[in-house]
Structure 1
Amino acid sequence: MTFAYRLRRPVRAALSLAALCALQACATLEAALPPDTPGAISEETRMMYASVEDNGITVPAIEDKYLTEDRKRQVVDYWTDEKPGTIIVDPGARWLYHVMEDNKAMRYAVAVGAEGLGFSGTATVQIKRDWPYWTPTQNMIRRDPETYGPVRNGLPGGLENPLGARALYLFRGGRDTLYRIHGTPSPWTVGHATSSGCIRMFNQDSIYLAEQVAKGTKVIVRPAADAGTGTVPPGTPLPEQPAPQPMAEAPTGTAPLPEEDAA
């Protein structure tokens, strides 16, 4: 089977809310990272991450300072016995692979938090949501009723919703793992280690991936210690993985946003 990649058309609009604080299984404050070392960004890459209309919402373009040619989604060599269509998350290397035929995969850059590193094994995409609803947990409300009490009933999808444009909800044995693969309103986090959270992608990439993924898709999350597995032919020593880049202080004027959620 050959996997083609295409964008979804716009359908509906959603509301948003800024400047919330969050801390739980898939929820945390994230500060902005300093821009990556400037490099030559191709026009193809700019178009890939250009502004796009989706479900009545205008997704902003990703700024050049958060992009690199290596970080853009692209087909790469990848060796695995898993069937085409399988998603393999490599939290230690901060990549997500959508397996294709002939030892190839579409690779996406991701941000990985503590919970993303703490979960490994096999799961299934049970739910897919466009501009998913965000709901604070009861623990969050008990811990900080002033912040979360007013939004106890949840936050509709939108540009400042922590789950971004798309979310894939992973289940194991019919039960929710509370593990999510989703977009993010904080593009500066993508490609980096973060203080907490699951797996997040550029909104454009989350739209692109979700279009290809069906309910029931197998997802494998590798242990952090297995970083780089599949990037070289079997029997070849793995290359040394780069050290995670820590989060930095947010630039002046950057509003804190809830990054993720388990509901």
Structure 2
Amino acid sequence: MRSNKKLLLAAMIGALALSGCSTISNSTLFANAYASKSDGAYRLPAIPVSKVSREFRRQEVNYTGGEKVGTIIVDTGSRHLFLVQPNGKAIRYGIGVGREGFEWSGTAKVGWKREWPVWTPPAAMIKRQPELAKHRGGMKPGLSNPLGARALYLTKGGGDTGYRLHGTPEWWSIGKAMSSGCIRLMNQDIVDLYERAKPGAKVIVR
């Protein structure tokens, strides 16, 4: 049993080294991060944190990479998003990522941001799921909208990549590969990231 624990710890350290961040020590959870809260015309429901693994809850961690403050790093392997902070720190969020066949990696930037965005399924998605055709003109904002409370739109070379960092009402999907390529966060987390991230910020997806 002790040998298995050592192997597990070694695997965790290796995975964290790939992301350039360390959460083995000095990680700090944000208190009451997932309580119910009013947000414009809506009220975000509380997230049952007891059902969310600690590793996917918002927390401040040590950061050992070389990216500048404000950079967003998406580690699809560990299912974490890091926002680089001053003084060797980063804020880490749990994420959901693209399912098999929809993964992607590379660099982009935050082109623009929207509160309670309209969701418009792309043509390719409607082709795969014809029942979504009713939203061809856009699904109005709300608690059931797939983009959740906020969206950060990723661009590259001046054009829209089609990918988003966005919220989701499906908090249970965090830590899993279920999306069509976009990176999803719990609604309370995307609201927090939205307030901190600047338009033009570099986004690195690994």
Q: Of residues 78, 87, 96 in structure 2, which corresponds to 1:111?
A: 96
Q: Of residues 145, 148, 155 in structure 1, which corresponds to 2:139?
A: 155
> Equivalent residue for 1:164?
148
Spell out, residue by residue over 1:21-48, the C-alpha distance to the aligned partner (whole angstroms, 9 max, x if none): xxxxxxxxxxxxxxxxxxxxxx964x21
For 1:206, what is the secondary structure of its paired residue? helix
How has the CA–CA distance of structure 1 residues 116 and 123 changed in structure 2, closer, same or farther, with 3 Å as cutoff? farther
Write the distance in 1 (CA, Å) between the matches of 2:61 and 2:30.
17
Matches within 5 A, 1:68-83: 68-83=53-68
Query: How far apart are residue 67 of structure 1 and its match?
Result: 2.0
Please list every run of 5 or more consecutive structure 1 residues that lacks an aligned counterpart in the other structure: 1-42, 223-263
Write the distance in 2 (CA, Å) between the matches of 1:143 and 1:82.
38
For 1:149, what is the secondary structure of its paired residue? helix
Write the distance in 1 (CA, Å) between the matches of 2:129 and 2:164.
23
Query: How far apart are residue 144 of structure 1 and its match?
Result: 5.0
Q: Of residues 117, 126, 142 in structure 2, which corresponds to 1:132?
A: 117
Contact 1:114 1:198 in 2 (8 A): no
| Amino acid aligned to 1:191 | G
How has the CA–CA distance of structure 1 residues 74 and 117 changed in structure 2, closer, same or farther, with 3 Å as cutoff? farther
Contact 2:30 2:58 in 1 (8 A): no
Q: Does 1:220 align with 2:180?
A: no
| Amino acid aligned to 1:203 | N
Structure number with the higher helix fraction is: 2
Structure number with the higher strand fraction is: 2
Q: Does 1:93 align with 2:78?
A: yes
Q: Does 1:61 align with 2:77?
A: no
Contact 1:116 1:199 in 2 (8 A): no
Please list every run of 5 or more consecutive structure 2 residues that lacks an aligned counterpart in the other structure: 1-28
| Amino acid aligned to 2:123 | Q
Q: CA RMSD in A?
A: 2.2
Query: How far apart are residue 68 of structure 1 and its match?
Result: 3.2
Spell out, residue by residue over 1:226-249, the C-alpha distance to the aligned partner (whole angstroms, 9 max, x if none): xxxxxxxxxxxxxxxxxxxxxxxx
Query: How far apart are residue 137 of structure 1 and its match?
Result: 2.5
Structure having greater relative contact order (Cα 8 Å, sep ≥ 6): 1
Q: Does 1:199 align with 2:179?
A: no
> Equivalent residue for 2:174?
190
Query: How far apart are residue 116 of structure 1 and its match?
Result: 9.2
How has the CA–CA distance of structure 1 residues 214 and 143 changed in structure 2, closer, same or farther, with 3 Å as cutoff? same
| Amino acid aligned to 1:169 | Y
Write the distance in 1 (CA, Å) between the matches of 2:49 and 2:154.
31
Q: How many residues were matched structurally?
A: 178
Please report the TM-score for the alignment, with normalisation by the length of structure 1.
0.62
> Equivalent residue for 1:240?
none
| Amino acid aligned to 1:81 | G
For 2:172, what is the secondary structure of its paired residue? helix
